[in-house]
Amino acid sequence: MSKPIIVIGAGICGMSTALWLRRFGHNVILMDKAKPGMGASYGNAGLLAQWAIVPITEPSLWKQIPKHLIDPMSPLFVKWRYLPTLLPWLVEFLRNANANKALKTKDALVPLLTDSVLQHKVLTEGTSAQSWIADSKFSYAYRDKTSFEKDTFSWACKKEAGMVPDVITGLDVQDVEPICGPAIKCLAVLSGQGHVLSPHIYVSKLAEVFQNLGGTFIQTDVQDFEKNMDKISAVLTDQGRFACDKIVVTAGIWSKPLMGKLGLNVPLETERGYHVVYKNPSQTPENPMMITTGKFAVTPMTDGLRCAGTVELGGITLGPSEAPIKMLRRRVAEVFPNMTYECTEEWMGFRPSTPDSLPLIGELDHSGIFTAFGHQHVGMTAGPKTGRLIADMIDKRTPNIDMSPYDPVRYASR
Ligand SMILES: Cc1cc2nc3c(=O)[nH]c(=O)nc-3n(C[C@H](O)[C@H](O)[C@H](O)COP(=O)(O)OP(=O)(O)OC[C@H]3O[C@@H](n4cnc5c(N)ncnc54)[C@H](O)[C@@H]3O)c2cc1C
């Protein structure tokens, strides 16, 4: 048998990559230090966010920052003692917050995101994972119509990509979404969307499908690598050395130290995010929504109503904070005043974010080292397409989209 391709990290990106490679007939070993789907892919909002084509670094970010930093009900939080470490990344990130750069990023996100529901369906067709994908609409919930109308940059970009919402106002809001209280007076509804009913179960099902197809999953901590004449030759783990033909690094935020060992200094930082799951709620929305005042999503899932979002800049070693959870709870009580529930569950996870808000998808200089990480807020959405693109590149099928914006080599000269 040929030497394997080793995929490192069994989140949605690694799982999709491993599955596509196996489908195309490769000998694939998928490695993860934990069970599949326990990283950022565990607790996200489950949205197949085809509409999330506008990066956070939109031009109005500068105006919003001071307000965000003093308002405890804002969705942005900072662990101040982490600021010195964060600063170089933050400066580079903020340099992208202008119309020119945001539009360039948007153009690169469109081909990666806008057919996500179809990509998930193609990945899972005929498997036990398929029933974990739901067709849905998606609503942006605004305080009022004026707030919707002020969101001009984002909706202009979406319109250009063919996404025009139905705008619902006044008492009609409660007809469409009876769970909403009077704090929501405008919904901008996009049809033809989708979500996942439990991100963790979904990724676990994909792992089963992969293994049933003859793929190998090994729970092991990847620690280092060996190269031979600049080409990858082995992966070193806490269970020993595994010779390989190629590797794909799909370790989310933890890709940074792994890539450091491979000679690429990637400016990857985490935007920490939180969720609160309301168990056995008395009401749920008909469809997932974005509560724009708190910039968090609410998604009806099999284990309850998941409210997930917020951005906390604070690295991966400091423990969770109370403030983002408090904000989520207060906003949920404000927008869904009549919802009761049995109990709640909380979680914090690490979005892997680059300063240009684009993932690294590609090969490092014919080294056999491929990267598929850095999907920040949209990894659940873009995972299957990313996996397919990597499999195409490995099999020398030219992808039918411009891959240059995601090229990992953009960080090679650091
Ligand atoms: C609150 C929140 C809400 C979100 N909502 C959405 C959403 O609605 N839609 C969306 O598209 N995205 C969403 N995201 C973003 C999304 O969750 C991430 O972009 C995505 O999960 C990243 O997937 P991944 O496979 O790259 O990384 P991960 O899921 O983090 O997987 C990386 C894996 O690598 C493994 N690993 C790390 N180091 C090693 C090592 N040395 N050896 C072996 N294994 C290793 C880890 O154990 C982990 O399983 C959200 C994120 C958060 C935090």
**Distance between CA atoms of 328 and 73, rounded to whole angstroms?**
8
What's the CATH number of domain 54-97+134-194+268-353, 3.40.80.10, 3.40.630.30, 3.60.20.10, 3.30.9.10? 3.30.9.10
Q: What confidence tier does 135 reach under pLDDT thresholds 50, 70, 90?
A: very high
pLDDT of 337 > 80? The answer is yes
- The CATH number that domain 5-41+201-265+356-411 falls under is 3.50.50.60
Ligand 1 atom closest to the Cα of residue 352 is 19
Is 46 a pocket residue for ligand 1 (Cβ < 6 Å)?
A: yes
Residue 39 CA to ligand 1 center (angstroms) comes to 5
pLDDT tens digits along 46-60: 999 999 999 999 888
pLDDT tens digits along 353-378: 999 999 999 999 999 999 999 999 99
Counting ligand 1 atoms within 8 A of each CB, the residue from 380, 385, 386, 406 with the most, and so the one to mutate, is 380
Q: What confidence tier does 70 reach under pLDDT thresholds 50, 70, 90?
A: confident
Numbered ranges of CATH 3.50.50.60 in the chain: 5-41+201-265+356-411
Is 309 a pocket residue for ligand 1 (Cβ < 6 Å)?
A: yes
Is 55 a pocket residue for ligand 1 (Cβ < 6 Å)?
A: no
**Distance between CA atoms of 129 and 127, rounded to whole angstroms?**
5
pLDDT tens digits along 276-312: 999 999 999 999 999 999 999 999 999 999 999 999 9
Residue 380 CA to ligand 1 center (angstroms) comes to 8
Residue 35 CA to ligand 1 center (angstroms) comes to 13
Residue 395: count other Cβ atoms within 10 Å of its Cβ: 12
At 71 the pLDDT is: 86
Is 325 a pocket residue for ligand 1 (Cβ < 6 Å)?
A: no
- Whether 403 and 409 have beta carbons less than 8 Å apart is answered as no
Is 39 a pocket residue for ligand 1 (Cβ < 6 Å)?
A: yes
The DSSP annotation for 62-103 comes to HHHHHHHHH-TTSSEEE-GGGHHHHHHHHHHHHHT-SHHHHH
At 65 the pLDDT is: 84
**Distance between CA atoms of 233 and 221, rounded to whole angstroms?**
17
Q: What confidence tier does 122 reach under pLDDT thresholds 50, 70, 90?
A: very high
Q: What confidence tier does 16 reach under pLDDT thresholds 50, 70, 90?
A: very high
| pTM as predicted | 0.97
pLDDT tens digits along 390-404: 999 999 999 999 999
Ligand 1 atom closest to the Cα of residue 372 is 26
Q: What confidence tier does 68 reach under pLDDT thresholds 50, 70, 90?
A: confident
Per the prediction, the chain carries an average pLDDT of 96
Residue 351 CA to ligand 1 center (angstroms) comes to 6
Is 41 a pocket residue for ligand 1 (Cβ < 6 Å)?
A: yes
At 60 the pLDDT is: 83
**Distance between CA atoms of 113 and 386, rounded to whole angstroms?**
10
pLDDT of 1 > 90? The answer is no
**Nearest CA owner, ligand 1 atom 4:** 44
**Distance between CA atoms of 350 and 319, rounded to whole angstroms?**
12
Numbered ranges of CATH 3.30.9.10 in the chain: 54-97+134-194+268-353
Ligand 1 atom closest to the Cα of residue 373 is 26
**Distance between CA atoms of 191 and 165, rounded to whole angstroms?**
8
pLDDT of 24 > 90? The answer is yes
Is 375 a pocket residue for ligand 1 (Cβ < 6 Å)?
A: yes
Is 47 a pocket residue for ligand 1 (Cβ < 6 Å)?
A: yes
pLDDT tens digits along 173-229: 999 999 999 999 999 999 999 999 999 999 999 999 999 999 999 999 999 999 999
pLDDT of 14 > 90? The answer is yes
pLDDT of 414 > 90? The answer is no
Is 31 a pocket residue for ligand 1 (Cβ < 6 Å)?
A: yes
**Nearest CA owner, ligand 1 atom 27:** 252
